[in-house]
Amino acid sequence: MAFWNLVRRSPWSARIGLAIIALNVFAAIFAPLIAPYGETEIVGDVWAPKSADHLLGTDQLGRDLLTRLIYGARNTIALAFVTTALSFLVGSLCGFFAATLGGWVDMLLSRIMDIIMAFPTLIFALMVLSVVGTSIPAMIVVIALLDSTRVFRLSRAVAMDIEVMEFVEAARLRGEGIWWIMRHEILPNAMPPLVAEFGLRFCFVFLFVASLSFLGLGIQPPTADWGSMVRENAGAITFGIFIPLWPAAAIALLTVGVNLVVDWFLHMASGLKE
């Protein structure tokens, strides 16, 4: 209910963002129910134009584009979400530990993260994938690991800011253990920036997964995925058929949606502080 009250007072940009996210999540969850055809089912000509049967036309193998888009939502979003979640688990845990423990733990973790961060992410991912081969688990682990450095930095900084607050010192003086302090004193105060960061990291990971798929190194056919759909249909564009723009636009739309909501959230969180 509190959520609905917030939404009612939100600006139009945030509402659009929320609507976009809701639409995508809905499509992702109920893909098999709402998709008109099967994920890999060949139903028509190559690059057939829009028609009543195929609302968005067909792809390079004659599969229904709308169906592919709906399934693509499912695969791409799920993959990006799992990766972001993993990255957050690793990054924020390490970040909080580094901040609360300090000393050599902090030194060591920070140095390692600094070095990983000095790597260009895309190049690193490409090199790892070239060595271990393209596989979904490998991709999840690699991207999550690379991305967790950013999460680490933020959560460490946030935790450090909270850490120096006297209420944390008061808890220490009371004799509380590190877990209690992390759980009850630091985490609740770190939530707003971390939630916003989750949105931003999700966008980044999502674009990254899409890029890798676009380069042919991510999700492999025949699984529907927005990035690889762009790649597979790229040739069409020179014939004036704009099919690859659909999945690309879907990617862009979701990222814009998440960004709009994050912007709103950050605005609200900064207002809370005042």
Partner 1 sequence: MSPLKELIFKRIAFGALTLAVISVLIFVGVELLPGDLAEAVLGQNATPETVAAFRKELKLDLPAHERYLAWLSDFVRGDFGNSLSNGRPIAGLIGWRFANSLFLAATAAAVAVPLSILLGILAALYRNSLFDRTISMVTLTMISFPEFFIAYILIAILSAELGLFPSISNINDQMPLWEKLYAVFLPCATLTMVVTAHMMRQTRASIINILGAPFIEMAKLKGLKRLRVVVVHAFPNALSPVINVVALNLAYLVVGVVIVEVVFVYPGLGQLLVDSVSKRDIPVVQAAGLIFATTYVLLNLLADVLAIISNPRLRNPK
Partner 2 sequence: MSHLLEMKNVVIEGLSGRRWQPIVKGVDLHLNRGEVLGLIGESGAGKSTLGLASMAYTRGGCRIASGSIVFDGKDLTKASRSELRNIRGVRIAYVAQSAAASFNPAHTLLKQCVEVPVQHGLMSYQEAAEKAVDTYRRLLLPDPENIGYRYPHQVSGGQLQRAMVAMAMACQPDIIVFDEPTTALDVTTQIEVLTAIKEITRQFRTAAIYISHDLAVVAQLADRIMVLRDGELVEEGETRQMLANPQEEYTRALLSVRKTRRPSNAHALKDDVLLEVRGVSASYGQGVEVLQDINVKVKRKTTVAVVGESGSGKSTLARVVTGLLPPLKGTIVFDGEELPADLKARDRESLRRLQMIYQMPDTALNPRQKLRTVLGRPLEFYFGMKGKEQEDRIIELLDMVELPPEYIDRYPTELSGGEKQRVCIARALAAQPDLVICDEVTSALDPLVAEGVLELLQKLQDRFGMSYLFITHDLATVKAIADEIVVMWQGRIVEQGVKEEVLTPPHHEYTELLLSSVPEMDPDWLDNLLARRARKRARRRPDGGPGRPMRQPAPAASYNR
Applying CB under 8 A, the residues found at the interface with partner 2 are 165-167, 169-170, 172-176, 184-185, 188-189, 271
109 vs 129 by CB, closer to partner 1: 129
Which of partner 1, partner 2, none does residue 203 bind (CB under 5 to 8 Å by kind)?
partner 1
How far apart, in Å, are the Cα atoms of 206 and each of 173, 212, 238, 253? Answer: 44, 10, 27, 12
Min dist CB 166 to partner 2, Å, is 4
Residue numbers at the binding site for partner 1 (CB under 8 A)? 114-115, 118-124, 126-133, 203, 207, 210-211, 214-217, 227, 230, 234, 237-240, 242, 244-245, 248-249, 251-252, 255-256, 258-260, 263
Separation of alpha carbons 263 and 14, rounded Å: 8
81 vs 93 by CB, closer to partner 1: 81
118 vs 166 by CB, closer to partner 2: 166
Min dist CB 269 to partner 2, Å, is 12
Residue whose structure tokens are 């450095």: 149
Min dist CB 186 to partner 2, Å, is 9
Coil, helix or strand for 32?
A: helix
Nearest CA-CA partner of 217 in 154, 109, 131: 131
Residues 146-185, buried b or exposed e (16+ Cβ, 10 A)? bbbbbbbbbbbebbbebbeeeebeebeeeebeeeebbeeb
Min dist CB 205 to partner 2, Å, is 28
Which of partner 2, partner 1, none does residue 209 bind (CB under 5 to 8 Å by kind)?
none
Separation of alpha carbons 16 and 9, rounded Å: 13
Q: Which ranges of 30-186 does DSSP label H, i.e. alpha helix? A: 31-34, 65-101, 103-118, 121-132, 136-163, 166-174, 178-180
Which of partner 1, partner 2, none does residue 222 bind (CB under 5 to 8 Å by kind)?
none
Which of partner 1, partner 2, none does residue 249 bind (CB under 5 to 8 Å by kind)?
partner 1
Residue whose structure tokens are 């960061």: 197
Min dist CB 124 to partner 1, Å, is 8
Min dist CB 187 to partner 2, Å, is 9
